């Protein structure tokens, strides 16, 4: 069975996505940002897929599978995100992927445009001799998590959406004596002040 890259995203319905950007951009432009960032992330995933045996799974909220397929096309797996907080959603995603026989499994979101196919490749390579791979975000969260086996403890008692997420996750991993691989710290695009990072990438024509 091949490795799997899971992308967490949301259907870009105005008013229901990138809500922290709405005061600056308005509902429609915030949804358009979500659309563009998801498409950008999927493009990086497909670049990686050209160089290794890899399945891509889109775990989505909002919309329907048909709407997601009409938007992002075929050639990827579509799964609706489970109920619960972010930890529960990620734990369930890992569980589903590993249950069907995937070897190395990585979950990313769509908020980190600095995350390219080279860094994704490095993350999969790290999983060869690490139990856990994390990509720390500069806001204190993480933009990537990779596992070879389900480790439920990593998804409990975490203050999701805060600057403590990465450190709390790392502390749990250390308590479990896991071998941890860490990638470069990168920016997440969550708040209006972060938009300059995204705009710089777009203007540079990076794909």
Scan for tokens 């990438």, then name that residue.
201
For the chain, percent of residues with pLDDT exceeding 70: 97
DSSP 19-35: GGGHHHH-HHHHHHHHH
**Distance (Å, rounded) from C-alpha 207 to C-alpha 202?**
8
- SS3 percent helix, strand, coil of the chain, rounded to 5, is 45, 20, 35
Contact (CB, 8 A) for 3 and 53: yes
For the domain that residue 106 is a member of, what is the CATH number?
A: 3.90.550.10
Task: Count how many domains the chain has.
Answer: 1
Instruction: State which residues form the domain around 148.
Output: 3-202
Question: 117 in a domain, yes or no?
Answer: yes
Question: 207 in a domain, yes or no?
Answer: no
Q: What are 19-60's pLDDT values in tens digits? A: 999 999 999 999 999 999 999 999 999 999 999 999 999 999
Question: 34 in a domain, yes or no?
Answer: yes
pLDDT at 204: 64
**Distance (Å, rounded) from C-alpha 199 to C-alpha 117?**
20
pLDDT at 129: 95
Reply yes or no on whether the pLDDT at 111 is more than 90: yes
Tokens at 179, concatenated: 């071998």
Q: Of 137, 111, 106, 109, which is closest to residue 122 (Cα–Cα)?
A: 106
Please give the average per-residue pLDDT across 121-146, as a whole number: 97
Give this prediction's pTM: 0.95
Question: 52 in a domain, yes or no?
Answer: yes
Question: 56 in a domain, yes or no?
Answer: yes
Reply yes or no on whether the pLDDT at 1 is more than 70: no
Contact (CB, 8 A) for 155 and 134: no
pLDDT at 207: 53
Query: Treating both helix axes as pointing N-terminal to C-terminal, what angle do 27-49 and 65-72 enclose, rounded to 10 degrees?
Result: 70
Question: 21 in a domain, yes or no?
Answer: yes
Question: 168 in a domain, yes or no?
Answer: yes
CA angle, residues 137, 176, 151, in degrees to nearest 5: 70
Residue-averaged pLDDT of the chain: 94
Please give the average per-residue pLDDT across 127-156, as a whole number: 97
Contact (CB, 8 A) for 146 and 127: yes
**Distance (Å, rounded) from C-alpha 24 to C-alpha 14?**
14
Residue 194's pLDDT band, with cuts at 50, 70 and 90, is: confident
CA distances from 36 to 40, 52, 87, 111, 198 (A): 6, 25, 25, 10, 10
Question: 101 in a domain, yes or no?
Answer: yes
Count of CB atoms situated within 10 Å of the CB of 146: 26
Residue 201's pLDDT band, with cuts at 50, 70 and 90, is: confident
Contact (CB, 8 A) for 139 and 93: no
How many CA atoms lie less than 13 Å away from 202 in the CB half-sphere?
A: 10
């Amino acid at each position: 069975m091949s490795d799997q890259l899971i992308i967490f995203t949301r259907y870009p319905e105005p008013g229901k996505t990138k809500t922290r950007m709405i005061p600056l951009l308005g509902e429609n432009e915030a949804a358009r940002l979500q659309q563009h960032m998801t498409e950008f992330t999927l493009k990086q995933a497909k670049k990686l897929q050209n160089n290794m045996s890899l399945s891509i799974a889109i775990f989505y909220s909002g919309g329907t599978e048909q709407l997601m397929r009409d938007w992002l096309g075929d050639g990827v797996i579509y799964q609706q995100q489970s109920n619960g907080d972010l930890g529960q959603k990620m734990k369930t995603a890992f569980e589903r992927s590993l249950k069907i026989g995937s070897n190395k499994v990585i979950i990313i979101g769509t908020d980190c445009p600095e995350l390219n196919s080279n860094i994704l490749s490095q993350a999969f390579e790290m999983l060869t001799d690490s139990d856990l791979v994390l990509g720390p975000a500069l806001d204190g969260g993480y933009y990537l998590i990779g596992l070879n086996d389900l480790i439920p403890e990593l998804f409990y008692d975490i203050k999701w959406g805060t600057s403590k997420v990465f450190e709390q996750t790392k502390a749990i991993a250390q308590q479990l004596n896991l071998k941890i691989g860490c990638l470069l710290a990168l920016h997440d695009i969550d708040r209006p002040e972060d938009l300059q990072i995204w705009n710089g990438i777009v203007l540079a024509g990076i794909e």
